[in-house]
A and B are shown apart, each in its own frame.
Chain A
Amino acid sequence: MSQWTTICQDEQLSANLGICALVGAYQVAVFRVKDQVFALDNFDPFSGVNVISRGIVGDLRGHLVVASPIYKQHFDLTTGQCLEDDTVSLNVFPVRVHEGAIQVQPAPLVRPVAEQVA
């Protein structure tokens, strides 16, 4: 069975303001947008630093996105895909709101973790 890790209480995750959680070996950026919760790599592959949770969220050309605060690339919150570069995507993690808590699984849904100096 999959393993859920509680990272914080539901009310600690404000709408449209990201947070970062340490989930196993991963830094995971978690967002609540339009009453949905999303979890992606906190690691920004373009700048090589852990800042995705500090990006501004919104929508762009039909995608819900977060913009990297460093060089402003956009990543699809649902798939992790970078909108500016087909070859780059972030890992996406299973996430849920369960009994008043935000829970993330400590393994990405697809693709191995991006190159990261942990």
Chain B
Amino acid sequence: MSGKQTLVVVGNGMVGHSFMEKLVAAGGLEQYQVVVFGEEPRPAYDRVHLSEFFSGRSAEDLSMVPEGFYQKHGIDLILDEAVIAINRDTRELTTNKESSIHYHKLVLATGSYPFVPPVPGHERDNCFVYRTIEDLQAIAKAAGSSKVGTVVGGGLLGLEAAKALKDLGLETHVVEFASRLMAVQVDDGGGAMLRQKIEALGVQIHTGKNTRLITDGEGTVHQMQFADGEVLNTDIVLFSAGIRPRDELAKQAGLVMGERGGIVINNDCLTSDASIYAIGECALWDNRIFGLVAPGYQMAQVAVDHITGKGSSQFTGADMSTKLKLMGVDVASIGDAHGNTKGSLSYQFIDEEKQVYKKLVVSKTKKRVLGAVLVGDADDYGTLLQMMLNGIVPPANPAELILPQSDASASASAGLGVAALPETVQICSCFNVSKGDLVDAVAAGCQDIAALKGSTNAGTGCGGCAQLVKQVLDHELTQLGVEVKKDICEHFPHSRQELYHLVRVGELTTFSQVIDKHGRGMGCDICKPTIGSILASCWNDYILKSDHAPLQDTNDYFLGNIQKDGTYSIVPRVPGGEITPQKLIVIGEVARDFNLYTKITGGQRIDLFGARVNELPAIWQRLVDAGFETGHAYGKSLRTVKSCVGSTWCRYGVLDSTSMAIAIEHRYRGVRSPHKVKMAVSGCTRECAEAQSKDVGVIATEKGWNLYVGGNGGMKPRHADLFATELDDEILVKYIDRFMMFYIRTADRLQRTSVWLDNLEGGLDYLKSVIIDDSLGINQALEDEMTHLVGTYQCEWKTTLESPEKLKRFSHFINSDQPDSNVVFVDERHQIRPATKQEKIQLKEVI
């Protein structure tokens, strides 16, 4: 005899077997000698797909037990033998074959039996239940000499059984006591749609039928007589009217039972006897029986944890949402499908042509999804289930969740964002990574950006798609039911929006204050610039102040745009794209004197390339002396306000777009934001300034300015949304003030206004309510904050040039005046360009 204790499992159904698999995985066989009893002649099989037995799957195909599983692990599996008594005093079990066995621990996984209504005649021949392979074999045998089959019960299992009868070639009827099919899971509307679809498949449905008697039929084996006087002739009667727990053994043993049956268990799946567990459909937790397999599996794990002491999971109830295909019809039921929750609201969508029915139940406040019914199209099941389970706030108009989406509205609809993109869409053009590739990688276990980048390379090229990659990741994780962390990096358990709030409310003015109070570690190249930007958005200090300098990306640090060869480009501000000839000449002279490559930008400015770090101060001294300011081309801040010449020169112009553009550019220059911001002003609806492709676009009309927001060119173009019309100058600026500050307050790191708006819960309507109707009551604060930023503007280059201390930073070597010998230019079209690696080698050889 080994020194192990004996663990006996009574029942070898799906849950009983799951318990054994989990016990083996947990190493429980090192602690226990295990004996399993099953009253059926074969080990556990898949009862959920039982009807497939009639469409060709054999008993072996349905088996859940890998060949030799029990032998291999030395588990004593005793089949075709039922335990009939438990003596809890002696801890002995007796079987129907008169053997007995002693146990230390006992697990009851006795499952359930089909409920047969006590209708007179129910015990006649050719009356069956639908639970075991033996039942199915008997039904199949009877079907050979039958024409008509009738299922009593129009629930989930009943419809499965009806499918089985149909597959056996019988004229099939379903008789249901309630007024609709699947009364537990779906509502009247869903039941009606389901009925239509199932009748279309040739199954006749009889609802509201109370069977009184089963007797001899007229030309058939039976006749069913109903309370309303109608009759139905049939050869086979198949009862599928619900399940009852198999609890007779427990009852005999004197365990605590539920009022209407079921073995009472606690959160550890322990019964009232501390050495006896009950799991699966025989168990009653919180006065509920869980008639689905998934909760049974959960209980199996809980029991294994408790028995082995190797885990601490608890059973605390289970979600009973289901999705299945009944006779080819998709049916799903989620949570509170009937809207029983007090004050709940529901939305319904019916498409008679496609035979789709959808119902959504939300809380009174519309902040939570409570339940749903889907018939005919259950594609939304995953999304809605996740929203319910995770408390994801639905869009302002929750009906959008079940309304069909046209292609045009798909990407624009609120709150869905990347969800609406097809799998084939290319996300990372550098490495040709599609959304589908990312989805697969996430499914394969990449649960953070670093892992996803490592696996797919997405976002490791130009990095332009990083934001999209992040959104796909978040979305997929949500789909998988993983809590999506919006933490910006490992140092802060907060999103950018939260950090902004913490900085402003806490009046924090340095990175060390922020990380001491709300973070951990030293920070990194993600959180440092983000917080640097937030500090600037709040307090607008000089960004190279000693506290802030180490936070800045090299672009902000050297106040230029780093290029591939390590040199920088320079963009002086040219407000509205208006520039005097004298200033043009200065730019030309500076470029010539410092041998810089010049190019006109898309934002009506001039970019000067090829400046070495040590040349930057001298170049800027000349520019500042000539009246130029920094253009913030390096910053996550306002770039330019593009304009046309407007009513001043243009025959068609209706308002002075250039003056407005200059005023706007002067107002918002230098304002640090989550990402760069571009604006434009057009003088008429011909739209020469392309304002509708900008974050903020203004278009003149005869009656005033029209304001557009959320436009973007670039990688993922987005037409701006018309936000407000016919504004005067003052209101226009107020709206832009509020829009900018609201964006700065709430956007994610490196999220352009276009993406922000696409992801903004409630979308454009919500944004309008905030900015136009002041629905949050924050407009005064937004305006005050912007006024502060406008009032504290400084040209960063001017400030830097006035500080000898800061200027010391502008040298390549700390210990030498030599330039970086690795920066080499060659001529092309009469200007410089960086030498290629090959050219550098050749030049070196020549020297």
Contact = CB atoms under 8 A, between A and B. Distances in A.
Main secondary structure of the interface of B (DSSP, over half): loop
Contact of A118 (B460, B529, B553, B821): B821
Nearest to A56: B525
B490 interface: yes
Contacts of B822: 27, 43, 49-50, 116-118
B562 A65 contact: no
Contacts of B550: 14-17, 56-57
B813 A56 contact: no
Contacts, number: 102
Interface residues on B, range: 35 or more
A55 B554 CA distance: 7
B815 interface: yes
B566 A58 contact: no
B562 A20 contact: no
B599 interface: no
Given A21-B815, A54-B557, A117-B844, A49 B564 contact: yes
A49 B566 CA distance: 6
A30 to B, nearest CB: 8
Contacts of A72: 463, 525
Given A7-B815, A51-B562, A34 B820 contact: no
A56 B522 contact: no
Contacts of B553: 56, 69
B526 to A, nearest CB: 9
A39 interface: no
B837 interface: yes
Interface in A18-57: 19-22, 27, 30, 33-34, 43, 47-51, 54-57
Contact of B565 (A22, A49, A57): A49
Most-contacted residue by chain B among A59, A74, A84, A118 (CB, 10 A): A59
Contacts of B840: 117
B25 interface: no
A67 interface: yes
Contacts of B564: 47, 49, 70
A86 to B, nearest CB: 11
A61 B822 CA distance: 33
Interface string B805-816: 000000011111
A69 B562 contact: yes
A51 B525 contact: no
Contacts of B816: 21-22
B26 interface: no
Given A27-B820, A56-B528, A69-B554, A8 B523 contact: no
**Tier of interface size on chain A:** 35 or more
A34 B821 contact: no
Given A20-B812, A20-B814, A59 B521 contact: yes
Contact of B566 (A22, A33, A51, A67): A51
B814 A7 contact: yes
Contacts of B59: none
A54 B554 contact: yes
22 contacts: A8-B815, A17-B549, A19-B814, A20-B812, A21-B815, A30-B814, A47-B566, A49-B565, A54-B557, A55-B525, A56-B552, A57-B522, A59-B522, A61-B490, A67-B524, A69-B554, A70-B566, A71-B460, A71-B463, A72-B525, A117-B840, A117-B844
Interface of B: 454, 460, 463, 490-491, 521-525, 527-529, 546, 549-554, 557-558, 562, 564-566, 812-816, 818, 820-823, 837, 840-841, 844
Given A7-B815, A56-B525, A117-B844, 11 more contacts: A21-B815, A22-B813, A43-B822, A49-B566, A50-B812, A54-B554, A55-B554, A56-B528, A58-B491, A60-B490, A117-B841
